[in-house]
Chain A
Amino acid sequence: MLHALLVINKAGGLIYNRDFTDGLAKLTSNEYLVLAGTFHGVHAITSRISPVPNSSGMEVLETDAFKIFCFQTLTGVKFLLITDPATSQSNADLATRKVYELYADYVMKNPFYNPEMPIRIELFDANVVRVARTTNA
């Protein structure tokens, strides 16, 4: 059950966030920005303090109430999926792949989009909602 999607750019700024269900408390937009920035920082720290050398940053955060999956692309863009605790890694990976593909198509190939800026593209929105609906169904 996919609750929300956040996309964070290379500098740690939030460029896209979208809730799909009512299972999450409503956050103000400022709180979303803080969440994104904090996660970006924690991700960087975890990759440095890891006892295993050459490890990536935090990829899964599990709590009793939710799970956060993070996928970092080669360019430094992070896709965060907030799901319920029962979601398996493989399901989340599948959803992440689909969102990444939509990002590569509708955001990157759009000439009117400035990279690293907030994403305001209806085609991307509509398709992300569609993917979330099929994942949650």
Chain B
Amino acid sequence: MSQQATRSSSSHAKRPPILERNLAKGRSNEVSLSALAFLFCEMLSYATKKSSGIQDMEKKLSDFGYRVGLRTLELIIFRDRPGRRDTRLLNVLTFIHSTVWKTLFGKPADALEKGTDNEDEYMISDNEPNVTKFIAVPKEMSQLSCGAFIGGIVEAVLDGSGFVSAPSDFTPRTKVSYNVYDLGRQS
């Protein structure tokens, strides 16, 4: 019995389910900023509905970012530097500052600084984070910083690399500060 015409490659073939797709960097890696902005907008509304106060909401956003950060770390390591794991603090911070930021946001972060008053404090700044670009926080919530999402990503990357960290401060719209405790030095 003759075979039916084989399905043409792209238009009729269904995309393989997500766990079977190729992990290598493809061409269609970019997502439109508008789509991301709408998704982030809904994430914020969800967080607002479910949380009781501003601190709680920041914690929720940070948790969302944490989940993203863990997966991003694995993916970046797989794609860009297989088999090498940063064990030194400054290297990890530089990795976050350039590679992670460039993969996620298309540009490296603006600055990486060491905190002056605290030995263990480091700051990564981004002057115009593009996930929060369209968000104007109303006056009654002016303490809220939507950068908590980005902070969660950074925290997850640090945790995944084996460093203990705790966020110390999110200056609204720009900086993400972390206390990073270098375990190697403490012991």
Given contacts A109-B41, A112-B141, 18 further A-B contacts (CB under 8 A): A104-B34, A105-B34, A105-B134, A106-B134, A106-B136, A108-B38, A109-B34, A109-B134, A109-B135, A110-B135, A111-B42, A111-B45, A111-B48, A111-B135, A112-B44, A112-B136, A121-B136, A124-B136
Q: Hey, which chain A residues are within 8 Å of B54, CB to CB?
A: none
0 or 1 for each of B47-77: is its CB under 8 Å from A? (1 = yes): 0100000000000000000000000000000
CB-defined A-B contacts under 8 Å, sample of 14: A104-B34, A106-B134, A106-B136, A108-B38, A109-B34, A110-B135, A111-B40, A111-B44, A111-B45, A111-B48, A112-B44, A112-B141, A123-B134, A124-B136
A122–B136 contact, CB under 8 A? yes
Bound together, the chains give a CA A105 to CA B48 distance in angstroms of 21
Using a CB-CB cutoff of 8 Å, which residues 5-59 of chain B contact chain A?
A: 34, 37-38, 40-42, 44-45, 48
| Residues of the A chain whose Cβ atoms lie less than 8 Å from the Cβ of B141 | 112
Q: Are A120 and B42 in contact (CB under 8 A)?
A: no
Complex CA–CA separation, A111 to B131 (angstroms)? 12
Give Cα A3 to B134, complex, Å.
26
A120 touches B37 (CB 8 A): no
Name the interface size band of chain B. Answer: 10 to 19
Interface pair B37/A109, CB less than 8 Å apart = yes
Report the minimal beta-carbon distance from B54 to chain A, rounded to whole angstroms.
13
A residues near B (Cβ < 8 Å) are 104-106, 108-112, 120-124
Taking the closest CB of chain B, its distance from the CB of A110, in whole angstroms, is: 6
Question: What's the least CB distance linking A130 to chain B, in Å?
Answer: 15
Residues of chain B within 8 A (CB-CB) of A106 are: 134, 136
Number of A-B residue pairs at CB separation under 8 A: 36
Complex CA distance for A121 and B41, rounded to whole angstroms: 15
In the assembled complex, the CB of B48 is this many whole angstroms from the nearest CB of chain A, namely 7
CB-CB < 8 A to A110: which residues of B? 41, 134-136
B residues within 8 A CB of A108?
38
User: B138 at the A/B interface (Cβ < 8 Å)?
Assistant: yes
Task: Give the residue among B40, B41, B42 with the most A Cβ atoms within 10 A.
Answer: B41
* Closest chain A CB from B148 CB (angstroms): 13
CB-CB under 8 A from A109, the residues of chain B are 34, 37-38, 41, 134-135
Question: Which B residue sits closest to A120, measured CB to CB?
Answer: B138
Is B111 engaged at the interface, CB distance under 8 Å to the other chain?
no
A106–B133 CA distance with the chains assembled, in angstroms: 9
Query: CB of B183 within 8 A of chain A?
Result: no
Bound: A73/B144 CA distance, A: 33
Residues of chain B within 8 A (CB-CB) of A105 are: 34, 37, 134
Q: List residues of chain B with CB within 8 A of the CB of A123.
A: 134, 136
Any A CB within 8 A of the CB of B90: no
